């Protein structure tokens, strides 16, 4: 069973995904530093290891696909 903080983190990652999907959709991409900055702001942390962990989790959850440092593709969010 997931802990309460895991569910909160999942919702925050989903919120970041939806935010960027509304901006760029599937046709354009964002940069990795832009994604890192959004995660720092959403989670209110400045720890680089935490940010990298959240990005890896977003990739594992199929929310983003990292092609390079300048190309991060946002996957379409699931319908509620």
The pLDDT value given to residue 78: 81
Cα–Cα nearest to 61, from 11, 23, 25, 21: 11
The pLDDT value given to residue 21: 87
Q: Give the global pTM.
A: 0.81
Half-sphere exposure for 58 (CA within 13 Å, toward CB): 31
Question: pLDDT per residue over 15-73, tens digit each?
Answer: 999 888 888 877 788 899 999 999 999 999 999 999 999 999 999 998 999 998 888 98
Q: In whole angstroms, how far apart are CA 61 and each of 26, 46, 57?
A: 17, 22, 6
Q: What is the CATH number of domain 4-74?
A: 1.10.10
**Sequence ranges of the domains in the chain:** 4-74
Say whether pLDDT at 3 is over 90. Answer: no
The pLDDT value given to residue 69: 85
Q: How far apart are CA 74 and CA 17, in angstroms?
A: 7
**CA geometry: angle 5, 77, 75, nearest 5 deg:** 105
């Amino acid at each position: 069973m997931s802990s309460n903080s895991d569910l909160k983190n999942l919702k925050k990652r989903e919120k970041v995904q939806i935010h960027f999907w509304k901006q760029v959709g599937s046709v354009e991409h964002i940069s990795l530093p832009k994604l890192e900055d959004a995660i720092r702001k959403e989670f209110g942390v400045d720890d680089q290891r935490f940010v990298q962990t959240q990005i890896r989790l977003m990739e594992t959850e199929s929310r983003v696909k990292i092609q390079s440092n300048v190309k991060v593709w946002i996957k379409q969010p699931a319908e509620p």
